[in-house]
Amino acid sequence: MSAPKATRTRSRTRSTPPSSPRRRGGRRRRSLRLVAPRRRPPRLPFLLVSVVVVGLLVLGVTSVQALVAQTSFRMQDLSKKTAALQQEYGRLRLDVAQLSSPERISKEARRLGLTLPGPGDVKTLYVDGGGSSDGGDHAGGQPSFALKGVLGSQP
């Protein structure tokens, strides 16, 4: 690009030479020169970095959403299992309550031919409270039954 040449309109009759024009106030006027236009920095690297960053962010958000969905499904599954186990626990407690009722036990005993003992068949035994200080039944360091000495050879 070339600048148009300035044409002189004033005559050389002035006292100042044309090579040093003066402005008002006595300052010298700078000579004008053609300046090359400023180059813009390349945009391609910025665009590439921006696309990579945005892509990584989208990938990260998608991954987090997938993890949240998996965790949600797992929690749903565990909740169903917990409900099923609680129901099973309640059913088992009911079974234990029914099986341990005195009425059922007496019926089952009669069916098996068991009877209540007579008044002379039950013996009450009184044992000395002189056991060891730790509450266990030890005689000479060997475990023993507290009634073994009282009963003798009877089972």
Calculate the alpha carbon distances from 123 to 43, 81, 88, 106, 127 in Å.
106, 52, 43, 22, 13
Residue 17: inside a domain, yes or no?
A: no
146 vs 104 pLDDT, higher one: 104
Q: Is the model's pLDDT at 14 over the cut of 70?
A: no
User: For residue 108, is it within any domain?
Assistant: yes
Q: Looking at residue 132, what is its pLDDT? A: 57
Residue 64, in any domain of the structure: no
Q: What is the number of structural domains in the chain? A: 1
Exposure on the CB side of residue 35, measured as CA atoms within 13 A? 5
Q: Which tens digit of pLDDT belongs to each residue from 79-111? A: 999 999 999 999 999 999 999 999 999 999 999
Tell me which residue range forms the domain holding 105. 80-115
Q: Which helix (H) or strand (E) holds 138?
A: strand 138-139
Q: Residue 5 has what pLDDT? A: 56
CB 36 within 8 A of CB 67: no
In this prediction, residue 38 carries a pLDDT of 86
**Within-domain flag for 59:** no
**If you ran DSSP here, which 8-state letter would residue 91 be given?**
H
**Does a structural domain hold residue 93?**
yes
pLDDT of residue 147: 54
Residue with more model confidence, 121 or 72: 72
Let me know if residue 15 belongs to a domain: no
**pTM listed for this prediction:** 0.42
pLDDT at 142 over 50: no
